[in-house]
Amino acid sequence: MPGKARPGKQKTSSSAKKRIKRTGKGTFAHEKAAHNHLLQQKSKRQKRLAGRTIKASGYKKTLKKLLPN
């Protein structure tokens, strides 16, 4: 209809949807970095802690904008 402006749809961030998942309770989780290559020169501790999934709580407001749906 002419004269009526419709709001645009908010797009999901492509990079965020590949890296961040929403848990059942609505919080966000992502894996730590540095666990894909060059593992031979990294310490056991660094490799052990790198693959863990952590909850993203400090920047929840930003993540809600990146992943609206």
Q: What is the mean pLDDT of residues 18-38?
A: 88
Q: Is the pLDDT of residue 60 over 90?
A: no
Single pTM value for the model = 0.66
Q: Running DSSP on this structure, what letter comes out for residue 30?
A: E
Question: Sorting pLDDT into bands at 50, 70 and 90, what band is 69?
Answer: confident
| pLDDT for the residue 38 | 92
Residues pairing with 30 in the sheet? 54
Q: CA 51, CA 54: separation in Å to the nearest integer? A: 9
- Residue 26 has a pLDDT of 84
Locate the domains of the chain by residue range: 28-69
Measure the CA–CA gap between 9 and 21, rounded to whole angstroms.
21
